[in-house]
Amino acid sequence: MKRTNDADNLSFRAALVHGDSATKLSALVMGAGNFAHKQIGKGLLYLACEVCFILYMVLLGGGFLHGLVTLGTSTGGEVFNEETQVYEYTSGDNSMLFLLYGVITLFVIFFFLFAWADNLRSAYKSELLAKQGRHLNTFAEDVKSLFDQNIHKFLLSGPVISVFAFTIIPIFFMALVAFTNYDQKHQPPGSLFHWVGLKNFAALLSTSSGLGYAFWHVLGWTLIWAVFATFLNYFFGIILALVIDRKDTKLKSLWRFIFVLSIAVPQFVSLLIMRTMLQPEGSINILLKNLGLIDHALPFWTNATWARVTIIIVNLWVGIPFTMLQVTGILMNIPKELYEAAEMDGAGPVTIFFKITMPYILFVTTPYLITSFIGNINNFNVIYLLTGGAPASLAYNNGTAGKTDLLVTWLYKLSMDYQNYNYAAVISILVFILSATFSLVALKRSKVLDNEEAFQ
Amino acid sequence: MRRLIKNILVHILLVVLSLIWLFPLAWVIMISLRAEKGSYTTTFLPKHWTFKNYTRLFSETAVFDFPRWFGNTLIVALCSCILATFFIVSIAYVMSRLRFKSRKLLLNICLILGMFPGFMAMIAIYYILKGMGLTTGVLKLVSLILVYAGGAGILNFYVAKGFFDTIPKELDEAARIDGATKMQIFTKITIPLSKPIIVYTILTAFIGPWCDFIFSKVIIGTDAKYYTVAIGLWNMLQKENVYQFYTRFASGAVCISIPIAILYIFMQKYYTDGLTGAVKG
**Does residue B83 fall inside a structural domain?**
yes
- Range of A302's domain? 204-446
Residues A183, A213, single domain; the answer is no
**Does residue A76 fall inside a structural domain?**
yes
The alpha carbon of residue A131 is apart from the nearest alpha carbon of chain B, in Å, by: 24
Chain A contact for B19 (CB, 8 A cutoff): no
**Does residue A454 fall inside a structural domain?**
no
Distance CA A346, CA B157 (A): 43
Quick one: how far is CA A50 from the chain centroid? 33
Element (H, E) at B256: helix B242-275
Residues B13, B55, single domain; the answer is no
Q: Where are the alpha helices (DSSP H) in A278-379?
A: 283-290, 304-333, 336-344, 349-352, 358-377
**Does residue A90 fall inside a structural domain?**
yes
Q: In the predicted model, is pLDDT for residue B133 greater than 90?
A: no
Residues A213, A232, single domain; the answer is yes
Residues A9, A118, single domain; the answer is yes
The alpha carbon of residue B247 is apart from the nearest alpha carbon of chain A, in Å, by: 11
3-state secondary structure of A90: strand
Last residue of a domain, one of A136, A169, A197: A197
Per CB-CB distance under 8 Å, the chain B contacts of A452 are 165
Query: Contact A378/B24, CB-based, under 8 Å?
Result: no
Residues B18, B76, single domain; the answer is no
* B residues 126-185 closer than 8 Å to A (CB): 127-128, 131, 146-147, 149-152, 154-155, 165-166, 169, 181-183
Last residue of a domain, one of A197, A231, A257: A197
Question: Residue A245 belongs to a domain with what CATH number?
Answer: 1.10.3720.10
Residues B143, B86, single domain; the answer is yes
Residues A11, A125, single domain; the answer is yes
Residues B53, B189, single domain; the answer is yes
CB A76 within 8 A of CB A56: no
In degrees and rounded to multiples of 5, residue B203 shows phi and psi of -65, -45
**Does residue B225 fall inside a structural domain?**
yes
The alpha carbon of residue B50 is apart from the nearest alpha carbon of chain A, in Å, by: 19
**Does residue B140 fall inside a structural domain?**
yes
Residues B8, B72, single domain; the answer is no
Residues A180, A156, single domain; the answer is yes
- Range of B19's domain? 1-27
Per CB-CB distance under 8 Å, the chain B contacts of A97 are 131
Residues A436, A370, single domain; the answer is yes
Query: Contact A171/B3, CB-based, under 8 Å?
Result: no
**Does residue B281 fall inside a structural domain?**
no
Query: Contact A270/B122, CB-based, under 8 Å?
Result: no
| CB pairs < 8 Å spanning A and B | 241
What pTM was computed for the model?
Answer: 0.84
Residues B10, B104, single domain; the answer is no
pLDDT per residue rounded down to tens, chain A (456 residues): 334 445 556 788 888 888 888 888 888 889 888 888 888 888 999 999 999 999 999 999 988 999 888 888 877 666 677 777 777 777 778 888 888 899 999 999 999 999 999 899 888 888 888 888 888 888 888 888 888 888 888 888 988 888 888 888 888 998 899 999 888 888 877 788 889 989 899 988 888 878 888 899 999 999 999 999 999 999 899 889 888 888 788 888 899 889 988 888 888 889 988 888 888 888 888 888 888 888 888 888 888 889 999 999 999 999 999 888 888 877 877 777 878 888 888 888 788 888 888 888 887 787 788 888 888 988 888 999 898 887 877 777 777 788 899 998 998 888 888 888 889 899 988 988 888 888 788 777 765 545 554 444
Mean of the pLDDT values across residues B236-248? 84
Residues B1, B114, single domain; the answer is no
Query: Contact A317/B93, CB-based, under 8 Å?
Result: no
> ipTM, 2 decimals?
0.86
Q: How far apart are the first and last CA of chain B?
A: 42
Per CB-CB distance under 8 Å, the chain B contacts of A425 are 120
Query: Contact B128/A169, CB-based, under 8 Å?
Result: yes
Chain A contact for B50 (CB, 8 A cutoff): no
Q: In this structure, what is the dihedral angle of CA atoms A216, A222, A228, A230, given to the nearest 10 degrees?
A: -140
Question: Residue B238 belongs to a domain with what CATH number?
Answer: 1.10.3720.10
Strands of A366-426, DSSP E: none
The alpha carbon of residue B87 is apart from the nearest alpha carbon of chain A, in Å, by: 6
Residues A191, A222, single domain; the answer is no
Mean of the pLDDT values across residues B199-216? 88
CB B121 within 8 A of CB A90: no
Residues B23, B63, single domain; the answer is no
Q: In the predicted model, is pLDDT for residue B92 greater than 50?
A: yes
Residues A223, A346, single domain; the answer is yes
Residues A144, A180, single domain; the answer is yes
**Does residue B280 fall inside a structural domain?**
no
The alpha carbon of residue A40 is apart from the nearest alpha carbon of chain B, in Å, by: 25
* The pLDDT of residue B134: 67
**Does residue A56 fall inside a structural domain?**
yes
**Does residue B103 fall inside a structural domain?**
yes
| Amino acid residing at A64 | F
Total domain count for chain A?
Answer: 2
Residues A385, A439, single domain; the answer is yes
Q: In the predicted model, is pLDDT for residue B154 greater than 50?
A: yes
Residues B8, B92, single domain; the answer is no
Residues A313, A347, single domain; the answer is yes
Last residue of a domain, one of A157, A181, A197: A197
Residues B5, B39, single domain; the answer is no
Per CB-CB distance under 8 Å, the chain A contacts of B230 are 266, 268
Total domain count for chain B?
Answer: 2
Residues A323, A436, single domain; the answer is yes
In degrees and rounded to multiples of 5, residue B138 shows phi and psi of -70, -20
Residues B133, B200, single domain; the answer is yes
pLDDT range class, residue B113, cuts 50, 70, 90: confident
Chain A contact for B115 (CB, 8 A cutoff): yes
Q: What is the largest CA-CA distance in chain A?
A: 103
Residues B40, B165, single domain; the answer is yes
**Does residue A182 fall inside a structural domain?**
yes
Cα torsion angle, A50, A53, A59, A65, sign: negative
